[in-house]
Amino acid sequence: MLKISIIFSGRGSNACSILKFIIENKLKFIVKNIICNNKEAHGINKISKLGFNVRIIDKKLYDNIDKYNSDLHSILQPEKDNLLLLCGYMNKIPKDIINLFNGNIINIHPSLLPKYKGLHTHDKVISNKDLYHGCTTHYVTEDIDCGPLIAQYKIPVMQFDNSVTIAKRLLQVEHILYYETLKMIENNDIKLKNKIIYYKNNILEEPILFN
């Protein structure tokens, strides 16, 4: 079985969703680490109630980002082919940790990348009057939200939508997309080799689309 580490900073919604799939035996992963870098994060209590321990490395207590990343590096220590899952982790992953996991770090981003990298994606969708919004799973590189794209889930923007309503609808879709992505990895349908994604042994030219 693949071993995973999960890291988050806030409500831990995607982290909880993944852990529930594991509890229900819908994902066959071994949970090695669950780490939060914010001692006030709402997700800590939610995950604890599911029966998992959360290791807290509060970034606010560090004066030096290099020391913080060094401590994070020491805790993670993956074995071969382990996965690191980012679930609302609000920090950049440094190069040494990316190398530590041989690039096997996955993030979910609330936009149809490469559109709207970074923050405030829901506001941008509404202000630009986009017809569609969505989320993307991708492998993590040193450049934020720029890694190879795995899959996307696309939803229509309704006339009544604002940034709050569409964020709420999209969050439910994020849970589905993260699950589908991890299931493909579990089944060896998705593999990363030399920064190139292979889907069923063929190079993945475009992200797999769900809607």
Which among 73, 70, 39, 69 is positioned nearest to 54, based on CA atoms?
Answer: 39
Looking at residue 90, what is its pLDDT? 94
Which among 8, 13, 10, 2 is positioned nearest to 172, based on CA atoms?
Answer: 13
Name every residue whose Cβ is closer than 8 Å to that of residue 160 and which is 6 or more positions away in sequence. Answer: none
pLDDT tens sequence across 12-56: 999 999 999 999 999 999 999 999 999 999 999 999 999 999 999
In this structure, what token pair is assigned to residue 82?
Answer: 């382990």
Looking up tokens 């997700």, which residue turns up?
43
- Total count of domains within the chain: 1
CA 121 to mean position of chain CA atoms: 16
Has residue 211 got a pLDDT over 90? no
Domain that holds residue 96: 2-210
Looking up tokens 């770090």, which residue turns up?
105
Q: Categorize the per-residue pLDDT at 183 as very low, low, confident or very high, splitting at 50, 70 and 90.
A: very high
In this structure, what token pair is assigned to residue 71?
Answer: 């401590």
pLDDT tens sequence across 66-121: 999 999 999 998 888 899 999 999 999 999 999 999 999 999 999 999 999 999 99
Question: CATH number of the domain that 40 lies in?
Answer: 3.40.50.170
CA distance linking residue 176 with residue 17, whole number of Å? 9
| Number of alpha carbons in the 13 Å side-chain half-sphere of residue 144 | 11
Has residue 161 got a pLDDT over 90? yes
Looking up tokens 């030399």, which residue turns up?
194
Q: What is the pTM of this model?
A: 0.97
